[in-house]
């Protein structure tokens, strides 16, 4: 068995975590799937091919030979995005509104 075959069989958890951290540091939304594979979540389904090329380049520079995933957002992901205000002023307004509606103790 040559060295390359052995390397592909023995991809450690540390390598996966390193790939996860590198993708996250690159500004991508990343999650670890249930099997421990780093998966990038695209902004929309149309962006998948662009993000796939970007992820391949990042992981190639890292010399990561393991599995990775790229997926479109799920409905649950979109709901989370809608709840997060993009503007800091909107966040402050929503916080003050919730304080106004609070029941005094």
Q: Are 16 and 73 in contact (CB under 8 A)?
A: no
d(CA 80, CA 14): 29
d(CA 31, CA 20): 8
Q: What is the pLDDT of residues 31-69, one digit of tens each?
A: 987 888 899 998 888 888 899 999 999 999 999 988 898
pLDDT for 6 beyond 50: no
DSSP state of 30: E
pTM over 0.75: no
Of residues 73 and 6, more confidence is placed in 73
Q: What is the pLDDT of residues 77-102, one digit of tens each?
A: 755 554 545 555 555 555 555 555 55
Q: Are 57 and 28 in contact (CB under 8 A)?
A: no
């Amino acid at each position: 068995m040559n060295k390359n075959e052995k390397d592909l069989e023995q991809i450690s958890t540390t390598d996966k975590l390193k790939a996860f951290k590198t993708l996250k540091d690159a500004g991508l939304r990343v999650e670890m799937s249930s099997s421990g594979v780093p998966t990038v979540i695209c902004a929309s389904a149309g962006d998948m091919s662009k993000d796939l090329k970007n992820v391949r380049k990042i992981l190639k520079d890292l010399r990561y030979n393991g599995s990775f995933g790229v997926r479109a957002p799920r409905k649950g992901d979109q709901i989370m995005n809608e709840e997060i205000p993009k503007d800091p002023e909107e966040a402050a307004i929503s916080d003050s509104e919730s304080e106004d509606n609070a029941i005094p103790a």
